[in-house]
């Protein structure tokens, strides 16, 4: 079981992921430079948060053209796990590996906060350690995290249960007040139809270390370790 | 090679434009034995500015204690470095970007963050946190709202993108800062190189490398711009404000730290104020050597730049290195991998001069020391007694103030004061957690707490990632109204409060970086404020054993209103760091459970309404004397607070500051979503302000243990205040029948909405 963490110039949550996978969970982890073309040694590829290439165009719009993204797409096509967190989600949607787009937050401000999420599915490699419907508290930190998709796409996402995490209040209710950025249907994270590609704006890696006082994100990584160790 | 040609002597108008006084010009001519040419004069203008050479403040800074067992690097380098134990070393420094932020708040504040982070990683330390201290005029004025929003957005933009968490700070609002906001940014880093990287050049024949971003015409003469009063015409000085690129800075951080670890770098200096001029002169002067540079080799972002423009450009995200001869190719390849420029632009030479060539001609040839060590010093006479206007204010009779009938309304009004109110609107825009080290988030305690660990791992298979449990606490503090009314005591109170805030999270204060924001030193009352404040900082830092490791001086913080110069409140902000032995044992300010007992530590002198937020907000007055400070009591109270937290006796701790004890208790209730009942002597004890007091809470089962320990440690200088309750905030007074009673949800609403409510009003068009 091995994690790979993609590093673009401007990535800044790469070490945060490594801190969890290698530091807390003691799993083999490789940091992968954006010019590399082979990620096949890794079971799970994580595209971390940050501002890839500065994100001066649209978030993730340049990163999708980097050499490593061809390898990541290939990894996904083979049914292996690809996780995009924050900027990683933006890169995955720009790359077409996930539907929809992330646009500027409703209030046009960057928002850093701890929010409640409902785990909509626990049958995925990265959610098995949660219970279905469990409400967890995970940090967010983004300026462009408002999930948008056209009506048909949205309907399709819901019909095929591709919404994995949804912003809710602490009771698990989907309310407008619980939506930190204006995302449609309070969407915080979605997967592809096969479930092996996930994109999410919240940062589970920032809620994994007991020393920092929050651990609701740790089961996300533990699920992967457990599921993939079996394979 | 011929000496540079010298143009005819410069006109007085030229000198005025460059902000070089005729006396300074005469001094330059005497030092050189000739007239400087225009390029050289430009270099003197920035190097001899207050911003670069501290010509007005240096004589006053000499009194600071700067050494101690934990101090590895004191003032004089890019940042101070302290030893926090377990082999961990921390670099930290504060710097102002007041004038740029007044003219262009977004870029002014953004580049302030970029600049202070460069000071940190230039030392070989990975930046792990920033804090900031901000001051604006009242939010009722749309101009202030625009500046406030712009500055916060600029800090967020740069800090979030560069990937360094913004973990704490302070924000004040007062009329004195209208038009001249203060933006002080503090950077903290953990050393990732075995040797601390210094800035003195050495090794004759070693190559000088220019690394990072390109040079353009942005930020021309920013240092001398920052060293003059702002005026209506200052907005025309926008070219003097730099433009930041946090993406490049992030790559520069990674590339520099990697480069330092190769051992190929001899010395490094960031190009901040005065860019190429300052970095080359300082590296040469500090090393006692010379530097020869060719401007034609410097990577540029525009064509046709004159030597003058190259030398005075303050384009951001640039550094100057001296490398070991023969290893330049390795460094160039490393920087290019990060998409950054790295070019050999010169050589270290024996002769202690800075020699600059452009198109085959020598355009500058100056003794390095003439630009640095020989800069003028202006020791000035200090007023022997406070200015008359201040004496009148201090003697204000506060005994005859009208007495409010509704003390609950008074509390609401204070919680609605933006200076006291929740700063969530601000810190919610900052990434507070990136790097996965933030133990205590903004708003949760009196200081930020971070886990400290190097993160040297990079591309490739990752080895062990040790996490450790050692931490660092950090804070920035200054109540400038105190300093205005009594600069000596006010500055001491700022140091004491910073240390107290660290103690409230359980950290042991160890060192200081200070940012002196004052008015024009040419005005006797401003210089008196500066001198008195420096004396106060020195005395307090000595007493609390927190040496000063460096800092920044920002003078000429005055705005011209209708042709009348108006000085800001003297504002010596104190950035302080402290050691947290174990990040599992820290204190936060929120009450934890109904039934817990609330105590007040440091009960000695009666609180005063002098200089208080109550006096300002409720009565619209500024006057009286700030609280008295007993440094022995201060140390004792702080030690007790730290021990109580580390031993697990105190479940919360919050210092009493603006708004007094009642506000401090309300804040602990709001943060904990709990109420309390308490009994105080009188409203003055509740709303007056005081030094050395901390409100703590403890579990009821620990009552006997806590109380006997407090008596042992503090004698009678503590007392019980009340009990934490589920929902209602109730304070009664022994001497008056009126009491304070409000549901905590209501208090929370007032406190949380104070700033968002004001910011919801439209801001002025940002033209």
Minimal Cα–Cα distance from B761 to chain A, Å?
Answer: 14
DSSP string of B251-310, one letter each residue = HHHHHHHHHHHHT-EEEEEE--TTHHHHHHHHHHHHHTSEEEEEGGGS-BSSS---HHHH
- Asked if B112 and B51 touch (Cβ cutoff 8 Å), the reply is no
User: Cβ–Cβ contacts within 10 Å for residue A23, how many?
Assistant: 24
Minimal Cα–Cα distance from A112 to chain B, Å?
Answer: 5
Residue A135 makes CB contacts below 8 A (sequence gap 6+) with: A116, A117, A118, A119, A168, A170, A171, A172
How far are the Cα atoms of A229, B186, B522, B554, B562 from residue B232, in angstroms, in the given order?
68, 29, 20, 19, 9
Is B51 noted as a catalytic residue in this protein? Answer: yes
Distance CA B66, CA B89 (A): 17
Distance CA B738, CA B387 (A): 40
Contact across the interface for A110 and B467, Cβ inside 8 Å: no
Distance CA B197, CA B193 (A): 8
How far are the Cα atoms of B32, B504, B654, B720, B731 from residue B597, in angstroms, in the given order?
71, 17, 14, 8, 14
How far are the Cα atoms of B158, B408, B410, B723, B725 from residue B739, in angstroms, in the given order?
47, 7, 11, 16, 16
Q: Which pLDDT score, from 0 to 100, does residue B2 have?
A: 47
| Nearest partner of B206 among B292, B273, B77, judged by Cα | B292
Residue A193 makes CB contacts below 8 A (sequence gap 6+) with: A160, A162
pLDDT tens by residue, A56-111? 888 888 888 899 999 999 999 999 999 999 999 999 999 999 999 999 999 999 99
- Asked if B472 and B576 touch (Cβ cutoff 8 Å), the reply is no
pLDDT tens by residue, B587-620? 999 999 999 999 999 999 899 999 999 999 999 9
Q: Look at phi and psi of residue B4 and say left if phi exceeds 0, alpha if psi is from -120 to 50, else beta.
A: beta
| Nearest partner of B689 among B589, B618, B740, judged by Cα | B618
Question: What is the span of the domain harbouring residue A103?
Answer: 3-229
DSSP string of chain A, one letter each residue = --EEEEE-TTB-SHHHHHIIIIIIS---EEEEETT----TT-SEEEE-SB-GGGG-SSTTTTGGGSHHHHHHHHHHHTT-EEEEETHHHHHHHHHTSSSSEEE--TTSS-EEEEEEEEE----STTTTTSPTT-EEEEEEEESS-EEE--HHHHHHHHHTT-EEEEEE-TTS---GGG-SS--GGGEEEEE-TTSSEEEESS-GGGG--GGGT--TTHHHHHHHHHHHHH-
For A15, which of B247, B435, B438 is closest by C-beta distance? B435
- Spans of all domains in chain B: 1-54+197-375, 67-192+437-584, 387-421+587-762
Contact across the interface for B583 and A211, Cβ inside 8 Å: yes
Does domain B1-54+197-375 fall into CATH 3.90.650.10? Answer: yes
**Which residues of A carry out catalysis?**
86, 203, 205
Closest-CA residue of chain B to A2: B461
Residues in chain B: 767
DSSP string of B448-512, one letter each residue = EEEE-------SEE-------S-EEEEEEE--HHHHHH-HHHHHHHHHHHHHHHHHTTT-EEEEE
Q: Which pLDDT score, from 0 to 100, does residue B228 have?
A: 61
Q: What are phi and psi of B398, to 5 degrees?
A: -100, 10
Q: At the fourth CATH level, which superfamily is domain B67-192+437-584? A: PurM-like, N-terminal domain (3.30.1330.10)
Distance CA B411, CA B659 (A): 9
- Asked if A59 and A90 touch (Cβ cutoff 8 Å), the reply is yes
Interface with chain B: mutation pick from A50, A59, A68, A110, highest number of B CBs within 10 Å: A110
Q: Which pLDDT score, from 0 to 100, does residue B9 have?
A: 81
DSSP string of B307-326, one letter each residue = HHHHHH---SSEEEEEE-TT
Contact across the interface for B467 and A15, Cβ inside 8 Å: no
Same topology, domains B67-192+437-584 and B387-421+587-762? Answer is: no
**H helix or E strand, kind and range, residue B519:** none
The DSSP output letter for B75 is: B
Distance CA B604, CA B585 (A): 28
Residues from chain A that touch B437, judged by Cβ atoms under 8 A, are: 212
User: Cβ–Cβ contacts within 10 Å for residue B392, how many?
Assistant: 11
pLDDT tens by residue, A23-38? 999 999 999 999 999 9
How far are the Cα atoms of A107, B208, B506, B580 from residue B429, in angstroms, in the given order?
11, 39, 27, 27
| Nearest partner of A137 among A85, A199, A188, judged by Cα | A188
Say how many CB pairs under 8 Å bridge A and B: 119
Residue A46, judged by CB atoms within 10 A of its CB (0-12, 13-18, 19+), counts as buried
C-alpha dihedral (B221, B112, B218, B27), degrees to nearest 10: 10
- Asked if B357 and B310 touch (Cβ cutoff 8 Å), the reply is no
A203 interfaces chain B, CB cutoff of 8 Å: yes
Contact across the interface for A13 and B163, Cβ inside 8 Å: yes
For B163, which of A19, A20, A50 is closest by C-beta distance? A50
Q: What's the average model confidence in pLDDT over A132-140?
A: 98
Residue A226, judged by CB atoms within 10 A of its CB (0-12, 13-18, 19+), counts as middle
Interface with chain B: mutation pick from A15, A33, A54, A204, highest number of B CBs within 10 Å: A15
Distance CA B30, CA B533 (A): 35
Q: What are phi and psi of A64, to 5 degrees?
A: -60, -25
pTM value is: 0.95
- Asked if B464 and B264 touch (Cβ cutoff 8 Å), the reply is no
Domain count, chain A: 1
| C-alpha angle B466-B470-B471 in degrees, rounded to nearest 5 | 120
Is B619 noted as a catalytic residue in this protein? Answer: no
Q: What residues of chain B score a pLDDT lower than 70?
A: 1-8, 219, 221-240, 560-563, 762-767
CATH (domain of A82): 3.40.50.880
For A13, which of B434, B460, B469 is closest by C-beta distance? B434
Sign of the alpha-carbon torsion through B652, B657, B661, B662: negative
- Asked if B698 and B597 touch (Cβ cutoff 8 Å), the reply is yes
Minimal Cα–Cα distance from B165 to chain A, Å?
Answer: 11
CATH dotted code for B387-421+587-762:
3.90.650.10
CA B550 to chain centre: 11
């Amino acid at each position: 079981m091995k994690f790979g963490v993609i590093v673009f110039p401007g990535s800044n949550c790469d070490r945060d992921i490594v801190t969890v996978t290698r530091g807390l969970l003691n799993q083999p982890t490789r940091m992968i430079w954006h010019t590399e073309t082979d990620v096949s040694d890794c079971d799970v590829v994580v595209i971390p948060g940050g501002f890839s290439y500065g994100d001066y165009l649209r978030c993730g719009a340049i990163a999708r053209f980097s050499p490593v993204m061809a390898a990541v797409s290939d990894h996904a096509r083979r049914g292996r796990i690809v996780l995009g967190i924050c900027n990683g989600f933006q890169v995955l949607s720009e790359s077409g590996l996930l539907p929809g787009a992330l646009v500027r937050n409703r209030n046009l401000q960057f928002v850093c906060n701890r929010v409640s999420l409902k785990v909509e599915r626990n049958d995925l490699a990265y959610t098995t350690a949660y219970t279905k419907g469990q409400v967890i508290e995970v940090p967010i930190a983004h300026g462009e995290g408002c999930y948008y998709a056209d009506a048909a796409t949205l309907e399709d996402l819901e019909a095929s249960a591709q919404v994995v995490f949804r912003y809710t209040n602490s009771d698990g209710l989907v309310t407008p007040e619980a939506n930190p950025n204006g995302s449609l249907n309070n969407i915080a994270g979605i997967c592809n139809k096969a479930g092996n590609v996930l994109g999410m704006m919240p940062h589970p890696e920032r809620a994994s270390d007991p020393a920092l006082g929050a651990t609701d994100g740790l089961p996300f990584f533990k699920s992967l370790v457990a599921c993939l160790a079996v394979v | 090679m011929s000496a540079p040609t010298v143009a005819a002597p410069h006109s007085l108008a030229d000198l005025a434009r460059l902000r070089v006084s005729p006396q300074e010009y005469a001094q330059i001519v005497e030092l050189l034995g000739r007239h400087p040419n225009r390029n050289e004069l430009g270099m003197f203008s920035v190097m001899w500015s207050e911003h670069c050479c501290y010509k007005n403040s240096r004589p006053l800074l000499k009194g600071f204690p700067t050494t101690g067992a934990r101090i590895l690097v004191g003032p004089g380098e890019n940042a101070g470095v302290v030893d926090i134990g377990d082999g961990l070393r921390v670099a930290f420094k504060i710097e102002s970007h007041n004038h740029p932020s007044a003219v262009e708040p977004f870029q002014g504040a953004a580049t302030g963050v970029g600049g202070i982070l460069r000071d940190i990683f230039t030392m070989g330390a990975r930046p792990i946190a920033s804090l900031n201290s901000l001051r604006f005029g009242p939010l009722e004025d749309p101009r202030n709202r625009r500046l406030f929003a712009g500055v916060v957005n600029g800090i967020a933009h740069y800090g979030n993108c560069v990937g360094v968490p913004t973990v704490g700070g302070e924000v004040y609002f007062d009329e004195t800062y209208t038009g001249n906001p203060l933006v002080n940014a503090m950077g903290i880093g953990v050393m990732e190189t075995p040797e601390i990287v210094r800035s003195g050049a050495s090794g004759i024949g070693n190559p000088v490398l220019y690394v990072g971003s390109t040079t353009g015409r942005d930020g021309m003469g920013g240092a001398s711009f920052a060293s003059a009063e702002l005026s209506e015409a200052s907005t025309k000085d926008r070219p003097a404000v730099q433009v930041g690129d946090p993406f490049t800075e992030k790559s520069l951080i990674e590339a520099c730290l990697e480069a330092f670890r190769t051992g190929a770098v001899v010395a490094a200096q960031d190009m901040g104020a005065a860019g190429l001029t300052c970095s080359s002169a300082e590296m040469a002067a500090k090393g006692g050597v010379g530097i020869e540079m060719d401007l034609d080799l410097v990577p540029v972002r525009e064509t046709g730049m004159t030597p003058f423009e190259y030398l005075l450009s303050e384009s951001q995200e640039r550094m100057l290195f001296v490398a070991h001869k023969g290893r330049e190719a390795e460094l160039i390849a490393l920087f290019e991998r990060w998409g950054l420029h790295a070019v050999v632009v010169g050589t270290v030479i024996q002769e202690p001069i800075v020699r600059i060539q452009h198109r085959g001609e020598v355009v500058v040839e100056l003794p390095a020391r003439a630009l640095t060590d020989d800069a003028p010093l202006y020791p000035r006479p200090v007023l022997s007694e406070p200015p008359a206007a201040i004496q009148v204010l201090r003697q204000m009779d506060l005994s005859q103030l009208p007495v409010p009938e509704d003390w609950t309304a008074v509390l609401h009004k204070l919680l609605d004061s933006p200076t006291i109110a929740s700063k969530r609107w601000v810190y919610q825009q900052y990434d507070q957690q990136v790097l996965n080290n933030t133990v205590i988030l903004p708003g949760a305690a009196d200081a930020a707490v971070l886990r400290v660990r190097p993160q040297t791992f990079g591309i490739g298979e990752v080895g062990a990632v040790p996490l450790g449990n050692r931490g660092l606490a950090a804070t920035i503090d200054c109540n400038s109204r105190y300093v205005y009314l009594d600069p000596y005591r006010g500055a001491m109170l700022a140091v004491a409060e910073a240390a107290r805030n660290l103690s409230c999270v359980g950290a042991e204060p160890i060192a200081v970086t200070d940012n002196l924001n004052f008015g024009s030193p040419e005005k006797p009352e401003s210089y008196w404020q500066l001198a008195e404040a420096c004396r106060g900082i020195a005395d307090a830092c000595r007493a609390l054993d927190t040496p000063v490791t460096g800092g920044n001086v920002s003078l000429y913080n005055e705005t011209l209103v209708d042709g009348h110069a108006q000085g800001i409140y003297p504002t010596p902000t104190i950035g302080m760091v402290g050691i947290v032995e174990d990040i599992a044992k820290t204190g936060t300010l929120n009450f934890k459970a109904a039934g817990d007992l609330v105590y007040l530590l440091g009960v000695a002198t009666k609180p005063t309404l002098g200089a208080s937020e109550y006096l300002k907000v409720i009565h619209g007055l500024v006057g009286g004397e700030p609280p008295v400070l007993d440094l022995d009591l201060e140390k004792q109270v702080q030690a007790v607070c730290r021990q109580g937290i580390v031993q697990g006796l105190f479940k919360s701790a919050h210092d009493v500051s603006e708004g007094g004890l009642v506000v401090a208790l309300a804040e602990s209730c709001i943060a904990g979503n709990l109420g309390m009942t308490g009994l105080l002597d009188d409203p003055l004890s509740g709303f007056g302000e005081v030094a050395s007091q901390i409100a703590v809470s403890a579990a009821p089962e620990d009552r006997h243990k806590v109380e006997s320990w407090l008596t042992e440690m503090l004698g009678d200088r503590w007392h019980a205040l009340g009990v934490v309750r589920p929902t209602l905030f109730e304070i009664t007074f022994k001497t008056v029948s009126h009491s304070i009673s409000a549901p905590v949800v209501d208090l929370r609403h007032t406190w949380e909405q104070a700033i968002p409510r004001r910011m919801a009003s439209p801001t002025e068009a940002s033209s």
